[in-house]
Structure 1
Amino acid sequence: MTSDATNPPILRRAITLPLLTLYGLGVTVGAGIYVLIGATVADAGAYAWVAFLLAAFVVGFTAFSYAELTTRYPVSAGEAAYIEAGFGTPRFAMIVGLFVALSGMVSASAIAVGAAGYLGALTGTAAFPTTIGIVIAMGLLAWWGISESVTAAAIVTIIEILGLLFVILWGLAVADQGGVTVDALIPPLQGDHWAGIVAASLLAFFAFIGFEDMVNVAEEVENPRRNMPLAIVITLVIATILYVATCIAVLMAVPIDSLAGAEAPLSLVFAGGPDVVKASFAAVAVVATMNGVLIQMIMSSRVLYGMADRGRLPAMFKQVSRRTQTPGVATACVTLIILGLSLFLPIDELAAWTSQIVLGVFVCVNLALIALKWRGQAGEDAFGVPMIVPILGVLTSVGLFVATALAANFNVP
């Protein structure tokens, strides 16, 4: 038997702390604020920025739970490994892992629709063929190689962050203030508007989905026990600041009636600006949203790979290309599913589905950490958090899920 046969190709540790942080920021920043601010404004109006803060609060506890778990188990298909370690039930772990992969694919589909909207506004191309082209192109890039695809994602992430800073500057200092005043941004302590804020927080929560993507590339991260917790915390802090500042700038610059439900919301900030400014920002928005598609593809394919590597899925999903050292079959499968979802479901429905799936996963992951801590199982050289952190992670995730369900039942506009 040849050495190639006895030593099948494996994933390569090529992701540094800066690349990992930019990877996390790429999916959070590109996925959320570039696409969903219009949908959150439709629910919460001038208080949409509060929905982003509420979502960050909910995400924060679970982010720290992930930071501990990923240092205990720095592997692909992280959530499945956490559930199996916490509850000792491989079947339940497999179900959770599949839901994680599904959340990434549904999320990528939502982002692809947003990317097609921005590209259509820039070039006049129809949404259907544009969406197909974006998904296929990102699938090929994800297959190309982890260092190549993550480096490309990091470069684009820097561009998209600069784009958001430009939106903030233009919206606050240059654009005609056609939106709300500063006083109108502050919600009263009581009133029906809080139902809208809570409903919007489920969509805003979608904007913070990213750190669970990061843990699923842990097998390809250098020194994961040090770099994973650092990257998760840095990503959450930077994303929250950017989201709140951008949301406020857009609300002050654009009338709420125009902003609510817009498919390319941030481009409205430049509606009265020079054509070169509008075209330049549209180009940045296109690459930013495509970056989100790429990163979610990488995550979903690694979940399928990790589960197959542990015998939870068919062996074909763990096949790694000798040329690219990426899971080719898993990447192809993920690309096809994303393509189908993005062509036939609306963006707000895709985002809501993603948020609901991930909230359920968050509850399970926090419970797994509680079980490990309850049994006194300490991770070797692992980053640690107090027991209260996963407990609050469960309570806040369940609370957000229940609150948004109740708000939906009351038909919040």
Structure 2
Amino acid sequence: MSIKPTMTLQGNAPAAPTLRRSLTLPLLTLYGLGVTVGAGIYVLIGMTAAEAGPYAWVAFLLAAVVVGFTAFSYAELATRYPVSAGESAYVDAGFGRANLAAVVGILVAASGLVSASAIAVGASYYLGGLTGAPTAALVVGIVATMGLLAWWGITQSVMVAGIITLIEIFGLIFVITWAMALSERAGVPAMDLVPPLQGSHWAGIVGATVLAFFAFIGFEDMVNVAEEVEDPRRTIPSAIIYTLVIATILYLATCIAVLLSVPMEALAGSTAPLTLVFADAPDAVQLGFAAIAVVATVNGVLIQMIMVSRVIFGMADRGLLPAFFARLSVRTRTPSVATAFVALCILGLSLFLPIERLAEWTSQIVLSVFVSVNLALIAIKRRAEPASDHFSVPFLVPVFGTFTSIALLATSLL
């Protein structure tokens, strides 16, 4: 049910509902980790290994560097303009062109839709291995359930996502521990993990970096719930930094552990790569980790739904999209129309496109947005616009963010 004005302020103006500011630093960090740590590492390690072989961990490290520059740009912009549909607002502030801002906002929404679709497909692989149910039926069930959770309420849905995030982080720690301490070393010898400085292998590493980049997508989603964050000027930069540091450590440790313990011929291209670590484990261990993997991948669908619905809501609220997308539920004060639209789009993409294509498209779209956002910050800094209470980064940060994003985008298109 959509909101209709039923109350008045000062006797004549309708009291429009507003988004509820209830996200603290721990909740926002868990939100960022929930969308970052998920399908990327749980599903795509096998695909990066197929491209980069034993040097797959280097691809994750390079992706972290590319993301790092832009993450700091986002941290400054989010404190300058703490609003929903953040990227759209940043580009509007940088260039003063509503049409360009609308395009960037639509790209952000598209990246979330495509990313959530890839995650839904990845979740169905793990769940299918656990239940034997058809992939299409599992995708429908996953998307419908996560859509209802996203509509339920921002605090409730983020708390659910936060709990699931803790479970999926525990799952990665379990993988690392089992691979390093309890399983046979059937993978790559440790000395072979270090790539020579020269050679054709770097082409594979760079190609794998585009896939690994998908695993880091998530920190930028935090800025799109800025209107629901307590004290966003302090909370958002810290949450972005914590998310990126924790995710990078987990990814590198997990990737190295898997490479050491799983034979390369089994790992390369696997759609459920982390389960291979437990190939010789007791059935109870295999079943328990498969359940964790399902929960971990499903979590990303929920968080992307939350993000995209807020982007659509924010753009509609500023007149960049039809006004009905800005309607809030009277019961949950969440964007009901936008959430339903997002769920339907994700369902369509999940059922008809392969996960590799979805992951590649997501990376390309997000890299295009990163270029736009970094250029917007450069323009804002060149004007030396005063703002005494925002997080600030050196001018070279968005410059490097622009060049590294362009380089990776160009690589993905070759």
| Category of TM-score, reference length = shorter chain | over 0.9
Q: Give the distance between the partners of 1:260 and 1:345, measured in 2 at CA.
A: 21
Distance 1:105 1:2, change over 3 A: closer
Q: Secondary structure at the match of 1:216?
A: helix
Corresponding residue for residue 139 of structure 1: 147
Q: Which residue of 2 aligns with 1:3?
A: 7
Judge conservation of contact 1:71–1:379 (CA < 8 Å) in 2: no
Amino acid of the residue matched to residue 221 of structure 2?
Answer: D
2:213 is aligned to: 205
1:265 pairs with 2:270: no
CA contact (8 A) 1:39 1:260 kept: yes
The alpha carbon displacement at 1:404 in A equals 3.3
Answer whether contact 2:78 2:223 (CA < 8 A) is retained: yes
- Cα distance in 2 between the residues matched to 1:270 and 1:2: 57
* Cα displacement (A) at 1:250: 0.5
Instruction: Find the counterpart in structure 1 of residue 241 from structure 2.
Output: 233
Q: Does 1:256 align with 2:260?
A: no
Name the stretch that deviates more: 231-240 or 258-267. 258-267
**Residue in 2 aligned with 1:113?**
121
> Whole-Å Cα distance in 2 between the matches of residues 380 and 91 of structure 1?
29
**CA distances 1:269-292 after superposition (whole Å, capped 9, x unpaired):** 101100000000000000110000
**Which residue among 54, 61, 66 is the counterpart of 2:69?**
61
Which residue in the other structure is 2:45 paired with? 37
Query: In the aligned structure 2, how far is the partner of 1:382 from the partner of 1:374?
Result: 16
Tell me which residue corresponds to 1:410. Answer: none
Task: Quote the Cα distance in structure 2 between the aligned partners of 1:112 and 1:267.
Answer: 18
TM-superposition CA deviations, 1:309-344 (whole Å, max 9, x none):
001000101001110010000000000000000001
Residue 411 of structure 1 aligns with which residue?
A: none
- Give the number of aligned pairs: 406
Q: CA deviation at 1:401?
A: 1.5
Q: Equivalences for 1:121-270 in 2 at 5 Å?
A: 121-270=129-278
How big is the shift at 1:256?
A: 1.1
Contact 2:364–2:412 (8 Å) recurs in 1: no
User: CA separation in 1, counterparts of 2:331 and 2:16?
Assistant: 12
5+ residue gaps in structure 1? 407-413
1:46 paired residue number = 54
User: Which 10-residue stretch deviates more, 3-12 or 165-174?
Assistant: 3-12
- Find the counterpart in structure 2 of residue 369 from structure 1: 377
| Structure 2: 5+ residue stretches without partners | none
**d(CA) in 1 for partners of 2:83, 2:39:** 24
Q: Does residue 314 of the first structure (1) align with residue 318 of the second (2)?
A: no
The structural deviation recorded for 1:198 is 0.3
Contact kept, 8 Å, 1:118 with 1:264, in 2: the verdict is: yes
User: In 2, distance between residues paired with 1:199 and 1:2?
Assistant: 55
Does residue 396 (structure 1) correspond to residue 411 (structure 2)? The answer is no
The residue identity in structure 2 corresponding to 1:184 is D
- Provide the C-alpha distance between the structure 1 equivalents of 2:282 and 2:208, rounded to a whole number of angstroms: 32
Q: How far is 1:399 from its partner? A: 1.1
Equivalent AA in structure 1 for residue 7 of structure 2: S
- How far did residue 177 of structure 1 move? 1.2
Q: Is the 8 A contact 2:39 2:123 kept in 1?
A: no
- What is the TM-score of this pair, normalised by structure 2? 0.97
Distance 1:388 1:2 in 2: 51
> Aligned match of 1:378 in 379, 386, 393?
386
Post-superposition CA distance 1:211-261 (Å, at most 9, x none): 110000000000000000000000000000000000001111111111111
Give CA-to-partner distance per residue, 1:32-59, whole Å, 9 cap, x none: 1011111111110110000000000000
What's the TM-score once normalised by structure 1's chain length? 0.97
List aligned pairs for 1:314-353, cutoff 5 A: 314-353=322-361
CA distance in 1, matches of 2:387, 2:269: 45
The amino acid across from 2:110 in the alignment is L
Q: Report if aligned partners of 2:46, 2:268 keep a CA contact under 8 Å in 1.
A: yes
Distance in 2 (alpha carbons) for counterparts of 1:357 and 1:402: 12
Other structure's SS at 2:107 match: helix
SS of the residue aligned with 1:32?
A: helix
CA RMSD of the aligned region, Å?
A: 0.9
Contact 1:9 1:321 (C-alpha < 8 Å) held by counterparts? no
Runs of 4+ in 1 over 3 A off after TM superposition: none
CA contact (8 A) 1:72 1:380 kept: no
Q: Distance in 1 between matches of 2:301 and 2:90?
A: 25
Q: Secondary structure at the match of 1:311?
A: coil
Matched, 1:294 2:298: no
Q: Identify the residue that residue 30 of structure 2 maps to in structure 1.
A: 22
Cα distance in 1 for partners of 2:18, 2:290 equals 39
Greater mean alpha carbon deviation, residues 2-11 or residues 314-323: 2-11
2:362 corresponds, among 354, 366, 370, to 354
